[in-house]
Structure 1
Amino acid sequence: MDTVKVRVGDSVFETNKSVLLRECEYFRALYRSGMVECHQEEIHVRNLKAQGFVIMLAVGRGERPILNGEEILEAIECAAFFQSEPLARHLQDLLNSDNCLLMYQASATYGLLGLHEKSAQFIRNMYRDLQEDLKKLPQELIEHVESLDPSAFVAVGSHSTCTVDELPLAATRTVCYLDEDDEEWKVLTALPMEASTSLAGLTVLDNQLYVVGGVHGVDKRPVDASFCYEVVTNTWSLLPGPRQPRYNFTLIGLEDCLYAIGGESGRTTMSSVEIYNVPTKKWSFAASLPRPVAGVACTKAMSRVFVCLWKPMETNEIYEYIPKQDAWVLVSTLLKHQSYGHCMVAHRDNLYVIRNGPQDDFLRCLIDCYNITTGQWTSMPGHYGNSKGALFTAVVTGDSVFTLNRTMTLEYTIAGNMWKPRKEMKGFPRNGSVWTFLLRIPKERKEGIAS
């Protein structure tokens, strides 16, 4: 029997048994047990509200509903009761500054550990904005947040590989982090000699930094070696490189996988995409992009990967990679004359496309916002200063956007339909392109670095 009736509170739901087995450990355990409930026409679930079950079924159908406070509480209770990992992951995707305290306390109450830790880390990263409201929570919850390491803004310049003889001259081959208290850039680690960040792919996944590919010298010989940096132990490990040697590609990490998107090989622009499975340490080819592209603008929002492709002279297209279909699907199109999306970042369910200004003016960027829930575009008013490519280094944490160049680190606050300058700090004194990202650096490491 494929159809199952489930009574939750006063409501009866008729759904597919396979959906319940896929979504919930509760039902998998129930049917494995052979208990009498398995053979009844109707399974009765007591002491649970129907709204949470409705939300769980919607997520099971592939929907991504945005939830208000009451719905979040019922969804957390439902996810904990039914041990529904997909619903728990969706709740993690919904974390924001408006609901993180609610999610943190409720997930502690119902024992939803993954959401509890994600909420705590989110609050820690926004501690200065949330500390007054955090004081209203129980003391043990406050202490847990304060025990965590906040994410730090990290940068590394563009460097080719290095020989032993060149090492004394390579003092700038370092990964640095911004100490916001001292407003100083401090060295976190040195790059391995064999590592190149010149036209390489860099990304952070599960608080580990990955450096993939890149080039040697001016003739752009591809680097085969790839590296992973473990911030807690301050160690680098060697990884296999992509099957197709590539440079000037985009690397992004999501759910145990690294995506190497497009790029160049032998001065030929490619559309191919490869995925590195971190647990198995193997690369495999995925569906290619609709057309060849190098250095493509890419971001992830709500556990989804998006790229911004350009068709001359005015078409910017947003594509999403759908893992279950192994396909790139066109999401939306933005028509702006001679304007190219150079960088894309995400905040909540919004994608921000940062593009050059009028007449290829790269010093005055324009920003357009696409909401992946409503499918609506909005143009942010005014121009944004982009001296020396600062906006192309944008990184989002909490409700803040960090950008930098050689002269200044500028933090914006995302407020409504604006990015409002919030704080200026010291710039990153490196020539050439700069890579930026976030890493949680243990307090002990920072104290060791400072000494």
Structure 2
Amino acid sequence: MKDPGREVLAPNGSCPLLDQQAGYCKAANSLRVIVGGSTFTVDKATMAENCEYFRALFKSGMRECRQEEIQLQCVGAGGFLVLLQVLRREQPMLNSDEIVEAIECTAFLQAPALTKHLMNIIDSENCLLMYHTAETYGVWDLGHQSALFIRDAYADLKEDVAALPSKLVEYVESLLPSSYMAVCSHSPSTELLQDIQRTVCYLDEEPREWRVLTHLPLNTSTTMAGVAVLDNKLYIVGGVHDMSKKVVETGFCYNPVLDSWSTIRGPQQLRYNFTLIGHEGCLYAVGGEYDRKALSSVERYGPADGGWGFLSPLPRPVSSVVSAVAVNRIFICLWRGQGATDIHEYVPDRDQWLLVTTLVREQSYGLYMVAHRDNLHVIRNGPCEDFLLCVMDSYNLSSGQWTAMCGQYGNTKGSLFTAAVKGDSVFTLSRHVTTEYTVEDSRWRVRREMKGFGRIGSIYTFLMRLPKAGAPLTELCPDPTQEQTLQELCIRPRTSTPCSQDV
């Protein structure tokens, strides 16, 4: 980080004068802000746009709004510098002292962009500090996100959590942990009763068993479909009916709280074999195929208005795009032959695809990518003679450096091409075994093995938070039409059927 004792110019230093019609004082656009003995030169319009404190100050009519210099007493220079970095679109990783000052700064100045950045960098090393400090300063969104992270990593953090105030511990324990979920590829069915494979399942970690969450609607296809979770709802979009590659035009949404399915509009461009990404309240349909031709088009869906709209296309047509979201940023892998894989980032507010880096490695087939903290782990098969063993390379977004991960992973029972990250754990599965790895600096270490997901075909995996109580996931009573009162649904403990194995 820069020396906070130096004068720093905030973003957009050449912006025009503030518009008096917008309710602000007409004055020069630059302002000197003195914080703890350090002087920062900032742009008034930028600060008013991003901080409630400055917006209220410039609208107040007080003499400060006409001054060329003001002094802030309640924030530290380090925290204010982090705010300016975030407003310059930088994404600094912070140490403990910087985190505390940044939380103090966003609490006092009411800066949503800084709060969002802090939420994006929560990890197992700082989550307790984030949680306690955010609750102390009343930054509730950050406190809640930190508590959710702690809940997911509770087994590893339990002893440290016990040192928190009892009310904070109680809140963490009241939250729903994420569950590892899986669904196989299925085509639309005309009959559900005997089709026990058309189910969405979750891993019950205590008995280490897979259990059924819900049945897929009859006309849903998960064959070459887009599958993603957004705001804790499962979306299945597109897919094909059969070998003719006729596209399913309707999308489907599952709400675990209501234990119900609903339909949504499909993308404007019919597509299959594409990637669906849930990010910041929107779904992104990326690439894919139609009429056996690869697509470069990208569409975004907003659940609030129910509409799809086209975005900037991919750099080239591609199907089965590999994607990951790291520190709240969307990344994809595009393989371009001769062992070269380009990693691009999509920047929503600019509607741009930016080339981040290129990995050049020999590989036989297959590619997958998962994100942990500010690292992208790119998983590929080893040399052709060891095609069942996966190797990994890790790209650090902060340093811009690649690291070859130690060892080889997977065996004849499965591979890592269905991985999902929860805290510092990575879950992956095959028909024979479900494996939890602990992510370390230079390798993934096997933590435990559980029962495999006994299904055939392509598998989609993801995380969801499932209610502790409510409508049973799968009824065990002989009459599936039996009705229950609302009170019974609210107090009845969760029950479910085991996921069938090796059919």
Smaller-chain TM-score range?
A: over 0.9
Matches within 5 A, 1:198-347: 198-339=223-364, 342-347=367-372
Which portions of structure 1, spanning 4 or more consecutive aligned residues, are displaced by more than 6 angstroms?
Answer: none
Alignment of 1:13-412 (within 5 A): 13-163=40-190, 166-339=191-364, 342-359=367-384, 361-387=386-412, 389-412=414-437
- Flag the 1:80–1:339 CA change in 2: closer, same or farther, 3 A: farther
- Code of the residue aligned with 1:448 in structure 2: it is R
The TM-score, its normalising length taken from structure 1, stands at 0.97
Deviations 1:300-329 (A, max 9, x none): 101110011111121111111112221111
Cα distance in structure 2, aligned partners of 1:279 and 1:43: 41
CA distance in 2, matches of 1:358, 1:146: 46
Worse-matched range after superposition: 361-370 or 249-258: 361-370
Deviations 1:99-141 (A, max 9, x none): 0000000000000111100000100001110000001110000
Alpha-carbon distance between aligned partners in 2 of 1:45 and 1:340, rounded to the nearest angstrom: 57
Counterpart secondary structure, 1:396: strand
Q: CA deviation at 1:177?
A: 0.7
Taking the aligned partners of 1:362 and 1:295, their CA distance within structure 2 comes to: 20
Alignment counterpart, residue 494 of structure 2, candidates 444, 448, 451: 448
Provide the rounded CA distance (Å) in 2 between the counterparts of 1:2 and 1:362: 60
Shift of 1:406: 0.8
Q: Does the 8 A contact of 1:156 with 1:434 survive in 2?
A: yes
* Cα displacement (A) at 1:9: 2.3
Q: Does the CA-based 8 Å contact 1:309-1:341 persist in structure 2?
A: no
SS across alignment from 1:101: helix
Could you say which structure has the higher helix fraction? 1
Instruction: Tell me how far apart the structure 2 counterparts of residues 257 and 374 of structure 1 sit (CA, whole Å).
Output: 29
Report the residue type matching 1:155 in the other structure. A
Alpha-carbon contact 2:393-2:405 (below 8 Å) kept: yes
Gaps of 5+ in 2: 1-27, 474-492, 498-503
The answer to whether the aligner puts 1:2 opposite 2:2 as a matched pair is no
* RMSD (CA atoms): 1.4
Cα distance change of structure 1 residues 377 and 278 upon mapping to structure 2, 3 Å threshold: same
Question: Residues of 2 paired with 1:257 and 1:23: CA distance?
Answer: 22
Bigger strand fraction: 1
CA contact (8 A) 1:316 1:341 kept: no
- Is the contact made by 1:174 and 1:188 (CA closer than 8 Å) also made in structure 2? yes
Task: Tell me by how many angstroms 1:341 deviates.
Answer: 5.9
- Report the Cα offset of residue 408 of structure 1: 0.7
Amino acid at match of 1:307: I
Instruction: Kindly indicate whether the alpha-carbon contact (under 8 Å) linking 2:382 and 2:389 is maintained by their aligned counterparts in 1.
Output: yes
Shift of residue 46 of structure 1? 1.2
Structure 2 SS opposite 1:169: coil
Cα displacement (A) at 1:386: 4.9
Contact 1:391 1:404 in 2 (8 A): yes
Secondary structure at 1:292 match in 2: coil
1:58-86 CA-to-partner distances (Å, cap 9, x unmatched) read 10000000100000000000011111100
Shift of 1:170: 1.4
Q: For residue 203 of structure 2, give the secondary structure of its aligned residue in structure 1.
A: strand
Tell me the SS of whatever aligns to 1:437. strand
Shift, 1:390, TM fit:
3.2
Classify the secondary structure of the residue corresponding to 1:411: strand
Please tell me whether Structure 1 or Structure 2 has the larger radius of gyration of its CA atoms.
2
Secondary structure, in 3 states, of the residue corresponding to 1:384? coil
Letter in 2 for 1:380: M
* 2:494 counterpart SS class: helix
1:353-402 Cα deviation digits (max 9, x unpaired):
00111027431111100001110001112211154653110000100000
Shift of 1:337: 2.5
1:142 and 1:330 mapped to 2: Cα distance? 43
Provide the C-alpha distance between the structure 2 equivalents of 1:359 and 1:421, rounded to a whole number of angstroms. 24
- More displaced stretch, 123-132 vs 185-194: 185-194
Partner of 1:11: 38
TM-score under structure 2 length normalisation: 0.87
Range with greater deviation from structure 2 (139-148 or 169-178): 169-178
Percent identity between matched residues is 53
Other structure's SS at 2:495 match: helix
